[in-house]
């Protein structure tokens, strides 16, 4: 089994920054990719950013240039640096790990006030 523990969410004003962290533990061999999804009230869950084992990244168009995903393989941790936050970034953010099957964190709330 894989456990994902997220931290770093909170309340911030528009234009501010937050950094999310997600630490993986358990059976974490052969991780193919880690990333972040988000789900706003009444909306479907969407991919925000993902980073593969080789370091390739992909971002949701609306966060490009504002969010940066990174990964520390020695700590099995993935980070999401979020800058220039907007009210529309408000959502529950979920850590995601793909190892041939899918694993999810419990979610952390990010609220951006206008």
Strands 10-13 and 108-113 turn out to be: parallel
Mean pLDDT of 26-43: 90
Phi/psi of residue 62, nearest 5 degrees:
-70, -10
d(CA 103, CA 96): 6
Q: Helix, strand, or coil here: 61?
A: helix
d(CA 25, CA 17): 27
- pLDDT tens readout for residues 53-100: 889 999 999 999 999 999 998 888 999 999 999 999 999 999 999 988
Q: Helix, strand, or coil here: 10?
A: strand
């Amino acid at each position: 089994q894989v456990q994902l523990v997220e931290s770093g969410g909170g309340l911030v004003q528009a234009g501010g920054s937050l950094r999310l962290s997600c630490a993986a533990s358990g059976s974490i061999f052969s991780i193919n990719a880690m990333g972040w999804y988000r789900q706003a009230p009444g909306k479907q869950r969407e991919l925000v950013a993902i980073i593969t084992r080789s370091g390739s990244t992909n971002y949701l168009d609306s966060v490009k240039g504002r969010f940066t995903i990174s990964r520390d393989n020695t700590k099995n941790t993935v980070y999401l640096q979020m800058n220039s936050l907007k009210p529309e970034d408000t959502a529950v953010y979920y850590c995601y790990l793909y190892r041939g099957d899918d694993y999810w964190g419990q979610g952390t709330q990010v609220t951006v006030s206008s």
